[in-house]
Amino acid sequence: MRNANYYTEREAEDAMAVIAGWIGKNRGVKVVYHDGTAVDADIFKGVIRIPRMACASGVTEDALMLLRGRTYHEAGHIDETKLTKKEYPEPGALFDIWNALEDRRMEAAESKKHKGCEYVFRWNNEYYNKKIAEKMNAGEESGPLWESMVAMAFMVDGLRPLWHLAPKAERYVEKAYDEFMKVRGCKDAKESLDLAQVVYDILIDASKEWKKEQGEPEKQEQEKSDEQGEPQEGEGQQGQGQGEGEEGEPEHRMPQNDVDDEPEENAGNNSSDGEPGDKDEDGDDSGSAEDEDSDENGEDKSEGSDSDDSGNEDGDEEGSGSGDSEDKNEDKNEGSSSSSKDGDSDEKGKDGGDEDGKGGKKGDEDAEDAPEATRDENEGKGKNKEIEDDEEATRQAKEELEEESDGVSKEDVQNEELKDCFGEMDPADMKYISRRDNDVHGIPAVDDGDKQTFKTRRERVSAMVASMTMALEQALRSMERCRKKSYQRRGKIDRKRLVHIAKGISKEVFYKTRAGMSLDVAVAITIDESGSMGEWEEVQMLAIAIGEALHSIGVPFEIIGSTTRYGYGQAPDLDGFSRTNPIVYKHYKEFQESWQVVKHRIVHSSCHHHNIDGEVVEYAAFRLAQRKESRKVVFSLSDGEPCGGHGCSNDRVLSKNLIRVCERSRKNGIEVYGFGIGTDDPKKFYGDEFFMYIEDVEEMAPDFVRRLADIVTRGVVKL
């Protein structure tokens, strides 16, 4: 589809063509047609597979845009994504992230090269956004990773996702979008792959953080319920212990193997001066209870209390072995003896005693070092556990990312929509499928000799041009003139009816003014340049006469000539198509061009090989459909039956397609008229009502001029 608002390059394909070999001027792109409905590609081999039905007559505009979007996208990857198979990431989360980034980078790069790509990609993204929103709002489930990638891709293109993102997907967007949008600065596929790795790591951290946040409320609720239940159990246990009397012990006593905390407990239970502790309700002192507890806690404690002398001797031996003076040893022994009397022999026996029965300063140092070593060991174990927990969380996050990439891809949506569009097409249209990717569009070059030739031809039809111009100008003035409508019951007072007002004879004394009509019409002229057009100079002069007349009254128009690239015996095999012989389009004048500037091109019209009138009229009708004028008219200058150079049986297929195209165009509001010079054979294809016969262009009868004016004014003015 070529649209004058977007396409400025001649390589842009015509109305029904669906091929993007022109992207990047990359003629290495190979197109393969198949019988399915999807578009796919092998970018390593530079092959794009397109359904044959894409070339059928009657493809809808939505289907055409989807086809172009898919084809341009795949051709863009062939042109831009330069990675070897080994450099491609494995299928999974990282690949999906990179694919989303590379799509954005590639489409932006192709849009800078070709304005048409920018329009097509924008249209497809908006279409995809709507379809995804429909599916999401209908309750279809999708993975958070997929959803966040789609949303960020839309956001980079300036589109707002039309659905509410899931909470986790929204978190992914919040964390990764700042990095994702850096794809605008990526210059090639390798840079987008590096960026994908950064985004991948961010999403892993976001997934871990999300899981931790989701787990903390449950953990806090569990801890809260445990805290509410534990005091009640403690109160019951404490009450039970107090009711047992002498032998009742609290259940929260420290275990016997807790060496680090035992000295502090003993110190708390025994006074430093050896005095008895406070008595309980039964009159027993706490010391007796502690003695019983010490008997229960182990042999080391009881041995320490029964053998104070041996403990002192061990302390002396250890002290002498340390190299200290005798005075210090004596002081120490005295301190040791005093403490044993106060009940500290238990502490010494526990901390200083070893399997050799030795004690003293070394035992004290070991006792001090033991808690620090234990703490370091515990800290080391804690750090290792944190590392292991983090590695496990990372592994789980990666697994979740792999599972969260489920969703409907843009390609799947486009191919699904294409299948629906093809399914809705008229089966009759599917009978005519043509190869349009090799069609050629060109503009004839003009030299000084062409200007003289045009002047000569223009003089030959000057009389006809004058009569046509006068008739059309008269019709135009008649249409645009305002008209007064008298004898109305409402409106402005008609001064000519004042007598009737005074006498009260009639109430119809008002008038209204009817505004004139503008000539809101656009015309496309097609010229058959097949070899059978022996009177090609006559056709050329007719095109000049119509062009001059339309230009004089300001009607926008264009002139397109057409033939085929190959003659008889040279056309390619049909290979399942209705037409494979490429059409050569010659643009003598386009709508946006001035006739006075480009009118000399028309002298290059001539006769060549074959004519495919059905597709040429279809192309002209599509071009007109893009115009803003209310009326759109096609003038087809031809000499008879279409011929593609594939044999007589195939020519009948082309003829049926011409009839079908005329009917479809008129149904869509585009009028198609056939002109025959010296022959009325085209009448059977265009219909009696829409055909004009011309015997001699230089001496055209007034009937033709009146007929032309009637068509242009739509019968409003009669000449």
Q: How many C-beta atoms surround the C-beta of residue 281 within 10 A?
A: 7
In the block, tokens 């001064």 appear at: 495
Low-confidence ranges of the chain (pLDDT < 70): 1-28, 216-383, 429, 478-484, 514-518, 698-701, 715-719
Q: What is the reported pLDDT for 329?
A: 43
- Listed in sequence order, the residues at least 6 apart from 388 whose beta carbon sits closer than 8 Å to its beta carbon are none
- Using a cut of 0.85, tell me whether the model's pTM lies above it: no
Cα 485 to Cα 512: distance, rounded to the nearest angstrom? 5
Q: What is the reported pLDDT for 277?
A: 42
Give 627's DSSP letter: S
What is the greatest pairwise CA distance in the chain?
A: 156
Q: What is the reported pLDDT for 12?
A: 38
- Listed in sequence order, the residues at least 6 apart from 457 whose beta carbon sits closer than 8 Å to its beta carbon are 537, 540, 541, 544, 603
Q: What is the reported pLDDT for 574?
A: 87
Q: What is the reported pLDDT for 217?
A: 59
Q: What is the pLDDT of residues 192-228, one digit of tens each?
A: 999 999 999 999 999 999 988 887 655 556 656 555 5
Q: What is the reported pLDDT for 717?
A: 60
Q: What is the reported pLDDT for 700?
A: 66
Q: What is the reported pLDDT for 26?
A: 56
CB 661 within 8 A of CB 621: yes
What's the CATH architecture for 440-481+516-712? 3-Layer(aba) Sandwich (3.40)
- Listed in sequence order, the residues at least 6 apart from 424 whose beta carbon sits closer than 8 Å to its beta carbon are 60
Number of Cα atoms under 13 Å in the Cβ half of residue 266: 25
Secondary structure (3-state) at 570: coil
Query: Environment class of residue 687 by beta-carbon count within 10 Å: exposed (0-12), middle (13-18) or buried (19+)?
Result: middle
Find, among 70, 37, 73, the residue nearest to 54 by Cα: 37
Q: What is the reported pLDDT for 401?
A: 87
Q: What is the reported pLDDT for 247?
A: 43
Name 671's bridge partners: 633
CB 612 within 8 A of CB 625: no
The mean pLDDT value of the chain amounts to: 75
Q: What is the reported pLDDT for 174?
A: 95
Name 522's bridge partners: 632
All structural domains of the chain with their residue ranges: 23-203+408-431, 440-481+516-712, 485-514
